[in-house]
Amino acid sequence: MRLLHWLPGRLLSAIVVLLGASILIFAAVRSLPGDFAQIVLGPLSNEEQREQLRQSFGFDRSLPEQYLLWLGNAARGDFGLSLASQQPVLDELASRLPVTALLAGMAMLVTIAIGIPLGVYAGTHASTGRGSAAARIVSTIGISFPEFVLGCLVVFLFSRFDLGLSVGAFTSPTTDFGRGVVSLLLPALVLSVFCVAATARTTRDAVIGVLVEPHIAASVARGEPKGFIIRHHVLRNALIPVLTLTATITAYLLGGAVIVERVFNVPGIGSYLVLALDRRDYTVIQAGVLLATAVFVIASLLIDVLTGLVDPRVSVAKKGRGA
């Protein structure tokens, strides 16, 4: 029940961060040079149309009022109309959300399934020389591969040679889930490489940190089997920094998805955001950036709660996100 002591404060800080981010996004788009109505309607619009638009956007009111109006609508899911297609932004985002969610989920699964065992191995063999050096080099190469380079490389290999999987043939997971998963396999793998390496590095450091603690020496002295020590004493303690890293990885997956979706031509939220930037579609940019930020803030809040449940030592002082 220690959780109840710090949870309200943590919730409040999440709300403050989210509000701050929304102010930043609003201010960024409003600080665009030129008349916003002119940007929206283009150079061929007349004064009457512009005046009408200013009123419909609430531009005749004060800036704080405009911000509250925008925020209130956004909180109810109304992000306005896309400037380019004149469709509600929410509908377009909603139709693309499953794709990105599946892509990020698959990458997260790969990250956990490979990154943690790799890190545990590297950490428990840290002082044995060759294995540790190999693990260090492999994980450093992993975090040094920008996903656009890796993605292009994969696209090149798979389009030049027949390797069983095709690139560019996308099936929506909402129409056929199985084929959707298969078509997202390569993008998800490319997306996960950085996260696997980062998780392995963090797990390795955490395991090394736990191994030097006296209670491990005590277990060894008691003659407990090695596998048991690793599972019961090392892993439980080492998983806490790894859990914290998951929040950073969520943010990374959201950002990386933008590039990977572009490279593999996947119609998700990321490629929609880039398309919006190409078309100067500011309502979509506002909504997309706000959505990505909100997902990250909520994810890190959940992970903090989870960490608090797993680790009773987490106190108010330690509740900040480590990275």
Partner 1 sequence: MTAVIRLEGRRRGVLRRSWDYLASFDGLAKTAMWTLAVLFTAALLGRLFGLGGSPTAIVGPRLAAPSLAYPAGTDSLGRSLLPRLLEGVMTTLLLSAVAVLLTAVIATLCGIIAGYRGGRTGGVIMRVGDILYAFPAIVLAILVAAVVGPGYIAALCSIVLVTVPLMTRMVGQATRLVAQRDFITSAVISGVSTPVIMTRHVLRNISGTIAVQGTYALSVAILVEGGLSFLGYGVQLPGSSLGLLVQEGTLYMVKAPWLILLPGIILVIAILAINLIGDSLRDRFEPREARSLE
Q: Which of 1, 8, 31, 175 binds partner 1 (CB under 8 A)?
A: 31
Q: Which of 40, 191, 245, 273 binds partner 1 (CB under 8 A)?
A: 273
Binding of residue 70 to partner 1 (CB under 8 A): no
Q: Which of 11, 69, 94, 153 binds partner 1 (CB under 8 A)?
A: 153
CB atoms within 10 A of CB 97: 14
Structure tokens at 34: 């030129």
User: Residue 280 Cβ, how far from partner 1 at the closest point, in Å?
Assistant: 8
Q: Which of 115, 180, 241, 288 binds partner 1 (CB under 8 A)?
A: 288
Q: Which of 13, 49, 171, 172 binds partner 1 (CB under 8 A)?
A: 13
User: Residue 100 Cβ, how far from partner 1 at the closest point, in Å?
Assistant: 12
Binding of residue 101 to partner 1 (CB under 8 A): no
Residues contacting 24, CB < 8 A, separation 6+? none
Binding of residue 289 to partner 1 (CB under 8 A): yes
Binding of residue 316 to partner 1 (CB under 8 A): no
* Distance of alpha carbon 291 from alpha carbon 276, whole angstroms: 14
Q: Which of 26, 252, 264, 272 binds partner 1 (CB under 8 A)?
A: 252
Binding of residue 25 to partner 1 (CB under 8 A): yes
Structure tokens at 170: 């996308």
* Distance of alpha carbon 62 from alpha carbon 75, whole angstroms: 20
Complete DSSP assignment for 169-218:
----TTT-HHHHHHHTHHHHHHHHHHHHHHHHHHHHHHHHHHHTSHHHHH
Binding of residue 296 to partner 1 (CB under 8 A): yes
Binding of residue 246 to partner 1 (CB under 8 A): no
**Per-residue interface string for the shown chain with partner 1, residues 159-188, x marking contact by CB under 8 A:** xx----------------------------
Query: Which residues make beta-bridge pairs with 88?
Result: 81
* Distance of alpha carbon 303 from alpha carbon 287, whole angstroms: 24
Q: Which of 135, 173, 262, 268 binds partner 1 (CB under 8 A)?
A: 262
Binding of residue 282 to partner 1 (CB under 8 A): yes
Q: Which is nearer to partner 1, 110 or 297 (CB)?
A: 297
Residue 59 Cα to chain centre, angstroms: 33
Binding of residue 239 to partner 1 (CB under 8 A): no
Does residue 265 come out as left (phi exceeding 0), alpha (psi in the -120 to 50 range) or beta?
Answer: left
Structure tokens at 219: 């277990």
**Rg, C-alpha atoms of the chain:** 24
Decide if 117 contacts 262 (C-beta within 8 A).
no
Place of tokens 């690793």: 230
Residues 113-152 that bind partner 1 (CB under 8 A): 124-128, 136-137, 140-141, 143-146, 148-149, 152
* Distance of alpha carbon 80 from alpha carbon 172, whole angstroms: 25
Residue 217, CA atoms < 13 Å, CB-side half-sphere: 4
Interacting residues toward partner 1 by CB under 8 A: 13, 16-18, 20-21, 24-25, 28-29, 31-32, 124-128, 136-137, 140-141, 143-146, 148-149, 152-153, 155-156, 159-160, 205, 208-209, 211-212, 216, 220, 226, 229-230, 251-252, 254-256, 258-259, 262-263, 273-274, 277-278, 280, 282, 285, 288-289, 292-293, 296-297, 321, 323
